[in-house]
Structure 1
Amino acid sequence: MTITSRPITRATALALLLTGLASMHDVLAQTGKLNLFMGSSSSSSTSYPIVVSEARVINKHVPEVQITVLETGATHDNMQRMARGQLRITGATGYDGPVMAYHGLYQYKAKPLKQVRTVLIERQPVLMFVVRADSGVKTFRELHGKPFYAGIPGSGAEFNARLLFKKLAIEPKLTFGSLADGVEAIKEGRIVGMVKYSPGARSIDSSLMDIKTRIPVRILSLTEEESKAAEVVPGHSRVDLSSDSTLLKGIQSEAVVAIGVGAGIFASADLPADIVYKIIKGLDEDWKKELGGTFADLATVDVIGDTIRGAAGVEQPVPLHAGVVKYFTERGHKIPATLLPPEWRN
């Protein structure tokens, strides 16, 4: 294909993509590069700098594209923007969003997002139910009737906590607000606890660090029966945190059974396979240098193995992107049939 250069600024090209008024080929023809927004999360999130680093690696290895990180409302906001054609690649996205969108669950029932594809599963944030140690609450059942912060309205943590509470027939007195509101409320004793995701399975974020430096806290553990009930939460799987887990260090000495969700990068099926091939290849080759050495939860990531295991390890998986299948196959890995997208099989 011959690329014809026409006068258009990069800002204009990005604006066109954001509003969904320009196709990828339109922008490629006018700029010589495929300008893509990469959905992420709030800039104050611990996930945001990870996406920025990933975008830097992609821009380094894929000269045909220019990635610009876009601050968003994270998982479900990213899926909604992809459905509107505003995003074709997202980072900082929990696997539960793509699972729900692809399979038409809950808010996606009327209009499934069949074009979403898995590119990378890089870490496993844990859904943590944190309570004050002096609250007397030691089990999920004891949350019934007590004031509890359920998260930012519309967030993944809030939605999934509600699903779990409903399945367990538990009705805490739920409060909502910003994360800062929840942190202050638990420190001041206005609530017994709160729900939030950890950055991954190996570290806690600054908000929980802030809380535990002010008051003793504990992480509630699911019973065997409750962990089976937790299967109602899409895209999640059981996580067993041993007593010496770095996630529990400085909080408690008891082991915890929780649920976690894969998180990483997802793309639209209409993003060309050769582009996505170069994206995942570049991330794989530069992972230890650019990401593993900077972020604790990414230090031991096996880009290929963790992605296959993470994507296939739930009841309703989301297929890999065709470009990812090609790269993983070339590296000698067998792809489960459930992860092969229709465009690859055809």
Structure 2
Amino acid sequence: EGWEPIRWLFLRNAITNRLHVRADSGIKTFDDLAGKKFCPGFPGASSTANFIKFNEVLGTGIDLVPASLGDAITAFKQGKISGLQKSSSMASLDASLIEVNLKTPLAVIGYSEENMKKIRAKYPYIIFFETKKGGIQQLPNNPTIMEEGQVVGAVASSNLPEEVGYEIVKAYVEGFKTVEAAYRGVTGWDPIADSFRLIAPGGEIPIHAGLYKYCLENGIEVPERFIPPECK
């Protein structure tokens, strides 16, 4: 619903919408942000919109302070907000927060099982990833947490001819080593299999006919929920 005529081509990588607080703040979970000032991000960003939705669904009562990253970091350093959300790769803090962590030790917090259950009951397309203790390079002692994640990839219109979509997918997948050499952020990700593995039920976008053709030719199983109507 709402995706027509968008079609999925391939996955680039996945990211987390990471929640940062001071390590000495005593804040351990999303629920601990109740009544506290927190920057969910800048207005208009999808991660900001999601955080606002979560606060509403869970009734947490966080005092939201949307702001640009620069303003949020300044406010955080000055103690005007308790923390901020910033998207980053799975295994590392964002570069802007690495610098902050050098002078103001950070902790990253996550969502409880009950939080996730309530959020996904309302928004089934939301994805959560487990980040294990030591999984964030700069915070080796941060405990295992559940973080909201997003899958990042390429899409096209269903009006794009099947053969063109096929050639795009083939070029990316079979030229992956070249892509990886230019952008290390794709390292470790499978552009096709991880799309099917990570995208939660209810959040899937039908795949492009060209990707479907590539999967059939290469023996890659396509879950029924991803098959576009034009290929059925």
- Distance change >3 Å, CA 297–CA 230, structure 1 → 2: farther
Name 2:65's counterpart in structure 1. Answer: 175
Name 1:341's counterpart in structure 2. Answer: 228
Q: Deviations over 1:16-75 (max 9, x none)?
A: xxxxxxxxxxxxxxxxxxxxxxxxxxxxxxxxxxxxxxxxxxxxxxxxxxxxxxxxxxxx
Mapping 1:23-62, distance limit 5 Å: none
Q: Is 1:318 aligned to residue 205 of structure 2?
A: yes
Does the 8 A contact of 2:128 with 2:147 survive in 1?
Answer: yes
Name 1:258's counterpart in structure 2. Answer: 147
CA displacement at 1:266 relative to structure 2: 1.0
Q: Which AA in structure 2 matches 1:272?
A: P
CA displacement at 1:221 relative to structure 2: 2.3
Name 2:197's counterpart in structure 1. Answer: 309
| Paired residue secondary structure (2:192) | helix
Mapping 1:36-115, distance limit 5 Å: 103=1, 112-115=2-5
In 2, Cα distance between equivalents of 1:203 and 1:235: 24
Name 1:33's counterpart in structure 2. Answer: none
CA displacement at 1:296 relative to structure 2: 4.0
CA displacement at 1:256 relative to structure 2: 1.3
In 1, Cα distance between equivalents of 2:95 and 2:209: 37
- Distance change >3 Å, CA 202–CA 222, structure 1 → 2: same
Does the 8 A contact of 2:21 with 2:82 survive in 1?
Answer: yes
Q: How many residues align?
A: 231
- Distance change >3 Å, CA 202–CA 288, structure 1 → 2: farther
TM-score, length of structure 2 as denominator length: 0.91
In 1, Cα distance between equivalents of 2:227 and 2:211: 10
Name 1:193's counterpart in structure 2. Answer: 83
Does the 8 A contact of 1:163 with 1:233 survive in 2?
Answer: no
Name 1:290's counterpart in structure 2. Answer: 179
Name 1:144's counterpart in structure 2. Answer: 34
Q: Deviations over 1:263-305 (max 9, x none)?
A: 11111111111111111100001112222x3444311122221
In 2, Cα distance between equivalents of 1:211 and 1:233: 33
Does the 8 A contact of 2:107 with 2:142 survive in 1?
Answer: no
Does the 8 A contact of 2:132 with 2:144 survive in 1?
Answer: yes
- Distance change >3 Å, CA 304–CA 139, structure 1 → 2: closer
Q: Is 1:228 aligned to residue 100 of structure 2?
A: no
| Paired residue secondary structure (1:135) | coil
Of all paired residues, the percent bearing the same amino acid is 29
CA displacement at 1:208 relative to structure 2: 1.6
Does the 8 A contact of 1:235 with 1:261 survive in 2?
Answer: no
Q: Which AA in structure 1 matches 2:226?
A: L
In 2, Cα distance between equivalents of 1:223 and 1:326: 40
Moved more, 207-216 or 147-156: 207-216
Does the 8 A contact of 1:119 with 1:324 survive in 2?
Answer: yes
In 2, Cα distance between equivalents of 1:264 and 1:149: 26
Q: Which AA in structure 1 matches 2:176?
A: W
In 2, Cα distance between equivalents of 1:187 and 1:296: 31
Name 1:211's counterpart in structure 2. Answer: 100
| Paired residue secondary structure (1:202) | coil
Name 1:270's counterpart in structure 2. Answer: 159
Q: Which AA in structure 1 matches 2:196?
A: I
- Distance change >3 Å, CA 187–CA 298, structure 1 → 2: same
Which structure is richer in relative contact order (CA contacts within 8 A, separation 6 or more)? 2
Structure 1 segments unaligned to the other structure (5+ residues): 1-102, 104-111
- What is the root-mean-square deviation in Å for CA atoms of aligned residues? 1.8
Does the 8 A contact of 1:148 with 1:191 survive in 2?
Answer: yes
In 1, Cα distance between equivalents of 2:73 and 2:182: 26
| Paired residue secondary structure (2:175) | helix
In 2, Cα distance between equivalents of 1:143 and 1:248: 24
